[in-house]
Amino acid sequence: MRDEAAPRGELEQMAFDHFNEPMLCGFELVRCIGYGEDASDCYVIARRPNPRAERIWITCVGGYTFLDRLKNQRHVKAHNGEEWDDLRRLDYYLGLNGVPREAEFIVERRPEESALDAADGCKPDLIEDHVAARIVANFCYLKGWTQGWEAMSGDEQAEIIRMVDSIKRREIIHPV
C-alpha cells in the first residue's frame, strides 16, 4: 500500500489509472491491481484467474495491453439502470472467475531485490547469452524460485533447463 499524498511516478500513475480494470498479459485476461519496482525494472502488478488467483508482475517494458478502447463499446443501459459496455463485461467475467476487484491499489518496492539476481538461483552456468539469462531470471523471480538451484525440486530444475535449451534454439516456449 502507499501513502496517497506521495507523488506518483509516470509508470506508477499509468498503472493507477487502470486500477481494477481488466487488461491483457500476452493473450491472457488479468486484472490490474498495482505497481511494483525492484532494483532492475518497473512492473504492473496483476491478478490472473486460476485456482490460486496468483499475483503476477509484468514488466512495464511490454507484454501487456490496456483495454481502453472497450470503454463504451457496445454500451447498453439495462432495465434496472445498470450500464454495461465491453470493458464492464470483462470486469464481471473476472469477478465470476475468482478475481474480484481489489479494495486498495498495491505498491511494492523491492530496491534490494532484482529479477536478474534470481538468475543466481537458476543455474547461470547453463546460460550463455544475456537475453536468455534475463528471460530465465524474470521467469524464476515471478515463480518465486529465488531459493537457489540446489533447493529447487527436480521438476523446477527440469523446467529451467528446458527453457534455457529452447531459448538457445530461439524457439518460442510456453512455461507451465
Please answer whether residues 64 and 58 qualify as being in contact, where contact means their C-beta atoms are separated by less than 8 angstroms.
yes
Is the predicted pLDDT of residue 169 greater than 60, yes or no? yes
Rounded to whole angstroms, how far apart are CA atoms 86 and 70?
A: 5
How confident is the model over 106-152, as pLDDT tens digits?
999 887 766 555 544 444 444 444 555 566 666 676 666 655 666 66
Question: Is pTM beyond 0.85 here?
Answer: no
Query: What is the distance between the alpha carbons of residues 29 and 78, in angstroms, rounded to a whole number?
Result: 25
SS (H, E, C) 47-71: ECCCCCCCEEEEECCCCEEECHHHC
pLDDT band at 54; cut points 50, 70, 90: confident
The number of residues in the chain equals 176
Q: Which of 20, 68, 27 is closest to 44 using CA atoms?
A: 20
Q: What are phi and psi of 107, to 5 degrees?
A: -130, 120
Q: What is the average pLDDT value for the chain, to the nearest integer?
A: 77
Question: Residue 58 and residue 61: Cα distance in Å, rounded?
Answer: 8
Phi, psi of 39 (to 5 degrees): -70, -15
**pLDDT above 70: residue 99:** yes
Question: What are the residue boundaries of the structural domains of the chain, listed by start?
Answer: 10-110, 116-167
Of 73 and 131, the one with more pLDDT: 73
CA 137 to chain CA mean position, Å: 14
